[in-house]
């Protein structure tokens, strides 16, 4: 399974919306995720070819995360889920 947790879905959402992000930016953006869990999920997604991790030879080291073409290809699916979720919330209000 390529996307197997709520954290991975949120990471994907934020990278689709923002493009390139650094670790702390992702951690703040996702919200409520520990450093350990974020690192684990990023490594898993990188291993599946969804995320690209780029390390810059600077002091202090800078690491940026972005989506690969495979990761970007998930955009229509994430958008469909967002639209469905908005419709579902609206039906609850009317219900």
Rg of the Cα atoms in the chain: 15
Q: Give residue 28's pLDDT.
A: 96
Q: Give residue 1's pLDDT.
A: 65
What pTM value is reported for the model?
A: 0.86
- Pick 6-94's CATH classification: 3.30.390.10, 3.90.1150.10, 2.60.120.10, 1.10.10.10: 1.10.10.10
Q: Give residue 5's pLDDT.
A: 85
pLDDT block averages, 10 residues each, the chain of length 95: 83 95 96 95 96 94 96 93 93 87
- Domain ranges for the chain: 6-94
């Amino acid at each position: 399974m390529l996307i197997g947790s709520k954290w991975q879905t949120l990471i994907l959402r934020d990278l689709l919306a923002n493009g390139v992000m650094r670790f702390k930016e992702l951690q703040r953006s996702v919200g409520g995720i520990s450093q350990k869990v974020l690192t684990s999920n990023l490594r898993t997604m990188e291993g599946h070819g969804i995320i690209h991790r780029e390390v810059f030879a600077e002091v202090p080291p800078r690491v940026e995360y972005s989506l690969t073409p495979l990761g970007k290809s998930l955009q229509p699916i994430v958008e469909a889920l967002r639209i469905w979720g908005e419709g579902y919330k609206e039906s609850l209000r009317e219900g």
